[in-house]
Amino acid sequence: MLTLRELRRAAALVEGKLGGARLLRAVQPDRFELALVLETGGRDAAREKHALLLSVRPGLGRISRVAESPPAPKTPGPLAQFLRAHVVGTRLAGVSVAPDDRIATLRFAGTDEVWSLRLALMGARSNVYLSDGSDLLRMSLRPLEETRRDLAPGEPWRDPEPRPRPEGEDRFADAPDEDFFAALEREADEKSRAGAAGDLAGQLRRALRRRAQQLERKLELLSGDLAAGERAADLEHQGELLKSNLARVPRGASELWVEDPATGARQAIPLDPALSPAANLEEIFVKLTEE
């Protein structure tokens, strides 16, 4: 995002180059950017088209001259539609910056109409606002709920609470004026690429985390199935051993020791002393079906 010092420099360069230019087109590629196509020259001077970008994209807020306007979406954004209907055809009458805040105002004047397009760089609450000749707010690039809840369409524009901000440095001080916007766009492009890479890395981390959680849940289910299978196999083996030794079970016994013919080892089979030997055998197979 531009510092106050950089915003003042950008505004002065825009006014110096595009002051008096006619607004030909407005493009709203998304909810964070508005591009204006202006034409200079005419009559005795060659006509030239220029693209002016107003961006409130997080971390990239700026006003800048760009090589060309971004492509227009199939469905024009509401601010672009309003500009096309009411402001296209007017001329850029001036560009100014608030004394102590990062708010740049572009004034457009027609035969009998005046419009103010304000670029307010306020961090996460950055926005572009359009006011009419009576300075009544008509439209905004982003929803007012996201940036200025104290404003409403049709009501007078009000500057935000005064917060004198430091001018900050001009990070492009070494660039001559004719290269200022090119340097600005190079930095914005680098930040955008870095942000996209960071977003991709974040998406990959989240995807891997979700996959790990899914695998952990599957492992838990498989572990549960394995334990259940082992319990079922053990119950089935106990049932077979008890069945083979049912005649040896004394009534009221709590366990029966038998020799496992498969291993030769002695094994205790737990019993319910309240049940008969046959009922104990049936209880084992009931548990087996429940597993």
Higher pLDDT, 63 or 244: 63
pLDDT of 208 > 90? The answer is no
Q: What is the pLDDT of residues 84-109, one digit of tens each?
A: 999 999 999 999 999 889 999 999 99
> Which pLDDT score is estimated for 53?
97
> Which pLDDT score is estimated for 39?
96
pLDDT of 288 > 80? The answer is no
- Summarize the confidence of residues 30-41 as an average pLDDT: 95
Percent of the chain with pLDDT over 70: 95
Distant-in-sequence contacts of 54-59, Cβ < 8 A, 24+ apart: 54/117, 54/119, 54/128, 54/141, 55/188, 56/32, 56/119, 56/120, 56/121, 56/126, 56/127, 56/128, 56/141, 56/142, 57/32, 57/33, 58/32, 58/124, 58/126, 59/1, 59/191, 59/195
In the chain the domains, ranked by start, together with CATH numbers, are: 4-171 (2.30.310.10), 204-290 (no CATH)
Burial class (CB in 10 A: 0-12, 13-18, 19+), 57: middle
Torsion angle of C-alpha atoms 79, 110, 126, 199, degrees rounded to 10: 50
Specify whether the CB–CB gap between 93 and 107 falls below 8 A. yes
Higher pLDDT, 37 or 243: 37
Torsion angle of C-alpha atoms 123, 127, 133, 137, degrees rounded to 10: -110
When pLDDT is cut at 50, 70 and 90, the band that residue 5 belongs to is very high
Q: Which of 26, 152, 137 is nearest to 81 (CA)?
A: 26
Distance set, CA 83 to CA 18, 205, 211, 274, 287 (Å)? 18, 42, 47, 90, 76
As a whole number of angstroms, the distance between CA 173 and CA 281 comes to 92
pLDDT of 44 > 80? The answer is no
> Which pLDDT score is estimated for 157?
96
pLDDT of 238 > 90? The answer is no
pLDDT of 225 > 70? The answer is no
> Which pLDDT score is estimated for 197?
61
When pLDDT is cut at 50, 70 and 90, the band that residue 35 belongs to is very high
> Which pLDDT score is estimated for 61?
95
> Which pLDDT score is estimated for 31?
93
Specify whether the CB–CB gap between 181 and 9 falls below 8 A. no
When pLDDT is cut at 50, 70 and 90, the band that residue 193 belongs to is confident
> Which pLDDT score is estimated for 246?
85
Least reliable range by pLDDT among 13-27, 130-144, 150-164: 150-164
Distance set, CA 44 to CA 16, 39, 86, 89, 172 (Å)? 19, 14, 28, 20, 35
> Which pLDDT score is estimated for 140?
97
As a whole number of angstroms, the distance between CA 154 and CA 156 comes to 7
Q: Which of 117, 146, 99 is nearest to 54 (CA)?
A: 117
Least reliable range by pLDDT among 12-16, 114-118, 264-268: 264-268
> Which pLDDT score is estimated for 41?
87
Q: What is the pLDDT of residues 162-183, one digit of tens each?
A: 777 788 999 999 999 999 999 9
Tell me phi and psi for residue 120, to 5 degrees: -105, 110
Full-model pTM:
0.68
H or E element that contains 157: none
> Which pLDDT score is estimated for 242?
83
As a whole number of angstroms, the distance between CA 225 and CA 211 comes to 21
User: 140 Cβ partners below 8 Å, 6+ apart?
Assistant: 79, 127, 128, 129, 130, 147, 148, 151
Percent of the chain with pLDDT over 90: 55
